[in-house]
Amino acid sequence: MKKQITWMAALALLASIVQPGIASALPNKAGNGSAFDKKITERFDSDRSMEHISYLSENIGPRVAGTKEELDAAEYIRQKLQHYGYETKTEEFGIADRLEGELTTSYNDEELAIRVATGSASTQGENVIGAIVDSGIGLPGNFPEAVEGNIALIERGDMSFWEKTKNAMNAGAAGIIIYDNTEGLVPITPSLGDNEASIPVVAITMEDGQKLKEEMASEEVRATLNITEISDQQSQNVIAVKEPKGKPTNDNDIVYVTAHYDSVPYSPGASDNASGTSVALELARILQPFPTDKEIRFVFFGAEEIGLVGSQQYVSGLSTQDVENSLAAFNMDMVGTGWDQATALYVNVMDGAPNAVWQAVEAAGERLGNDSLKLYERGASDHVSFYEAGIDAANFILRDPETASLEPWYHTPLDTIDKISQERIQTNGELIGAAVYDTVRQDVPWSKSKNKPDSNTNDYLLNEDPAPIQ
Applying CB under 5 A, among 236, 267, 273, 439 the residue interacting with Zn ion is 273
Distance (Å, rounded) from C-alpha 372 to C-alpha 364? Answer: 12
Count of other CB atoms within 10 angstroms of residue 38: 17
Applying CB under 6 A, among 381, 385, 416, 422 the residue interacting with ligand BES is 381
Applying CB under 5 A, among 155, 333, 382, 443 the residue interacting with Zn ion is 333
Q: Distance of CA 104 to CAs 121, 208, 220, 413, Å?
A: 18, 12, 14, 20
Of Zn ion, ligand BES, none, which one does residue 466 interact with (CB within 5 to 8 Å by kind)?
Answer: none
Which is closer to ligand BES, CB of 304 or CB of 443? Answer: 304
Count of other CB atoms within 10 angstroms of residue 190: 23
State in angstroms the smallest separation of the CB of 175 from ligand BES: 27
Q: Is 262 in the site for ligand BES (CB under 6 A)?
A: no
Q: Taking Cα atoms as reference points, which of 160, 118, 168 lies closest to residue 144?
A: 168
Residues 349-378 binding ligand BES (CB under 6 A) are 378
Which is closer to ligand BES, CB of 99 or CB of 309? Answer: 309
One character per residue 270-289, x = contact with ligand BES (rule: CB under 6 A): --xx----------------
* Of 71-79, 136-144, 152-160, 302-310: span binding ligand BES (CB under 6 A): 302-310
Main-chain dihedrals φ then ψ at residue 93, nearest 5 degrees: -155, 150
Distance (Å, rounded) from C-alpha 83 to C-alpha 469? Answer: 9
Distance (Å, rounded) from C-alpha 432 to C-alpha 415? Answer: 23
Applying CB under 6 A, among 57, 348, 412, 427 the residue interacting with ligand BES is 348
Q: Is 441 in the site for ligand BES (CB under 6 A)?
A: no
Applying CB under 6 A, among 199, 308, 393, 414 the residue interacting with ligand BES is 308
* Of 225-233, 237-245, 328-336, 454-462: span binding Zn ion (CB under 5 A): 328-336
Instruction: Specify the amino acid at residue 67.
Output: T
What is the Cα gyration radius of the chain?
25
Applying CB under 6 A, among 88, 312, 337, 395 the residue interacting with ligand BES is 395
**Virtual CA dihedral for 109, 61, 421, 309, nearest 10 degrees?**
110
Distance (Å, rounded) from C-alpha 180 to C-alpha 188? Answer: 7
Applying CB under 6 A, among 305, 392, 407, 430 the residue interacting with ligand BES is 305
Which is closer to Zn ion, CB of 149 or CB of 184? Answer: 184
DSSP per-residue codes, 176-225: EEEE-SS--SS----B-TT---SS-EEEE-HHHHHHHHHHHHHS--EEEE
Q: Which residue is nearest to ligand BES (CB)?
A: 380
281 Rama class: left (phi>0) / alpha (psi -120 to 50) / beta: alpha
**Contact yes or no for 398/337 (Cβ under 8 A):** yes
Of Zn ion, ligand BES, none, which one does residue 287 interact with (CB within 5 to 8 Å by kind)?
Answer: none
Applying CB under 5 A, among 37, 208, 251, 272 the residue interacting with Zn ion is 272
Q: State the number of binding residues for ligand BES (CB under 6 A).
A: 14
**Contact yes or no for 396/335 (Cβ under 8 A):** yes
Residue 465 neighbours by CB under 8 Å, 6+ apart: none
Which is closer to Zn ion, CB of 333 or CB of 438? Answer: 333
Which is closer to ligand BES, CB of 308 or CB of 431? Answer: 308
* Of 7-15, 303-311, 322-330, 453-461: span binding ligand BES (CB under 6 A): 303-311
Distance (Å, rounded) from C-alpha 369 to C-alpha 371? Answer: 6
Give SS3 for 331: strand
* Of 31-39, 250-258, 266-274, 317-325: span binding Zn ion (CB under 5 A): 266-274
Q: Which residue is nearest to Zn ion (CB)?
A: 272
State in angstroms the smallest separation of the CB of 180 from ligand BES: 17
* Of 55-63, 117-125, 304-312, 349-357: span binding ligand BES (CB under 6 A): 304-312
Applying CB under 6 A, among 70, 251, 253, 304 the residue interacting with ligand BES is 304
Give SS3 for 259: strand
Distance of CA 432 to the CA centre of its chain: 18
Q: Is 259 in the site for ligand BES (CB under 6 A)?
A: no
Which is closer to ligand BES, CB of 149 or CB of 379? Answer: 379
Return the axis-axis angle of helices 276-287 and 422-440, rounded to nearest 10°: 50
Handedness of CA 244, 249, 430, 344 (dihedral sign): positive
State in angstroms the smallest separation of the CB of 306 from ligand BES: 7
Distance of CA 198 to the CA centre of its chain: 32
Which is closer to ligand BES, CB of 140 or CB of 307? Answer: 307
* Of 14-22, 44-52, 238-246, 331-339: span binding Zn ion (CB under 5 A): 331-339
Residues contributing to the site for Zn ion (CB under 5 A): 272-273, 333
Residues contributing to the site for ligand BES (CB under 6 A): 272-273, 304-305, 307-308, 333-334, 348, 378, 380-381, 395, 397
